[in-house]
Structure 1
Amino acid sequence: MKRADVVDFYARLAADNPHPETELESGNDYQLLVAVVLSAQATDVGVNKATRALFDAVTTPAAMVALGEEELRRHIRTIGLFNTKARNVIALSTALIADHGGEVPRTRAALEALPGVGRKTANVVMNTAFGAETFAVDTHIFRVGNRTGLARGKTPLAVEKALDRATPQPFRRHAHHWLILHGRYVCKARRPECWRCIVADLCAFKPKTPAPAAR
C-alpha cells in the first residue's frame, strides 16, 4: 500500500471510530492483564462473561492469590484452556506481588517474564493500559494486514514489524484497535464484507465480496 493510501486508510478508520477501545472489560490495569491472558484462543465476549463475577470479587494480585487456583478455575471454566490459564494467572499474580509490589509493570521485558504472558499480551497491555505505540497482532490483524496490503508478513512478528514501519503519526496509538475491530466486524475471515467497507478502494484484496443481494 502506498504511503498516501496508508494515511487515507487510517484517517477513514479514525473518522469512523475516533476513540477505539478494547472490548475486554476490566476495572484496572491488573484486571486488564488477567483478561488479556484469558483471551488467548477465546473470544472477548466469552472472557467478559466469565470475568464479570470474578472481577467483582478480585481487583488485586493479592486477592487473586487468596482466591486460589481451584476457585479461579470455577469462575473461568467456560473459557478454553481454563486449567492452564488458572495456573498462569495465580503464578503471575504471585510474581507481581513478589517482584513488582503488586503493580503491573510497564516494560515489555518485565511483562513477558510473567507466567502466561507472551509478546501479543504484552503489546495489548502496554498499549491499552499505558499508551505505548505497540501493535498486538492477533488473527484479525494478521488477516487485515496481509489481505489489504497494509502490512504483509508470514508470521505475526513480521506483520507487527511491518505495521510499525508503515503506520505514521497520529495513528500509531490506536492503530491496533482500529485493525482488530475492522477485522472482527467487517474484514471477516470467511466472507469479508467488502460492500460496506470504508477502505475497500484502498485494499489489495480481489475479488471484492459483493453485497448479499447481488450474489
Structure 2
Amino acid sequence: MKQLLMIPVILLMISCNGQNKVKMSEKQTTKTEKKAILTYPKASSFVNSPLRNRMVLELNQPTSEVYNLVGDPANMPKFSAGLEKVETETKNEKCTSYTCYFKPIEEGEKGIIHTEKVVWQETDLGWASSKKEATEFGFTENFSLTTLEAKGDKTILTWDMHFNHENQEMLEMNKTTLVDVFDDMAEQLIAKFDGKIIENYIE
C-alpha cells in the first residue's frame, strides 16, 4: 500500500523537475536571444565615409582575455608603437572619450594630439569612436570600430577605420600608413595572445 501511495508522489516530483528544466531552458534561451539581439554599430549611423582600412586577427585566447587589453583605449600604447600615451574619460565604468598622444615623427618635434568620442562600448564585444569634424591630421568623418567575436576558445578581432580627406594624396598616404600601423599592432597582439593575421585590407 505504501508503495502505491509513493507512485503519485514520485510522478509529481518528476513532473516538477521536468517543469523546472523547461523553465531553466527558457531562461537560457532568453539570455541567448538577448545576446543575439545586441549587434555591433554601423558606421553609416555616425559618418558618411567609406571603409578605408580593416585588420582582422584570429587570436588564441577567449574574448574576455583579449577584451581586457583591447577593450580599453588607454591600453593602445601597449600594442601600437606610434603612441606615447592615451588618456581616457569614463562615466559609469564606460569610456566616453580618449586622447591619443602620438610620438613625434622627427626628434625635437612635438607629437600630434588627437581626441575622439567613444560612441559604443560593450564588455567582451568591443568599442567604437567617432569624430566628424576635421582632426589634427586634416581627416573628417572619422569612425573606428573594434569588435571581438568568439570562435570556440579563440577570438576574431576586427578593427575598421572610416575617414575622408579633401586632399586625395593625403587620403592615399594615410591608407598606406595604416597598413603599416595594423601590421605593427597585429605583430604585438599575436606576440601577446598567439594567433595569426586573417586580413589587412586597404581600399
TM-score calculated relative to the size of structure 2: 0.24
**Which protein is richer in strand relative to its size?**
2
TM-score calculated relative to the size of structure 1: 0.23
Higher relative contact order (CA 8 A, sep 6+): 2
**Which protein is richer in helix relative to its size?**
1
Bigger Rg, which one: 2
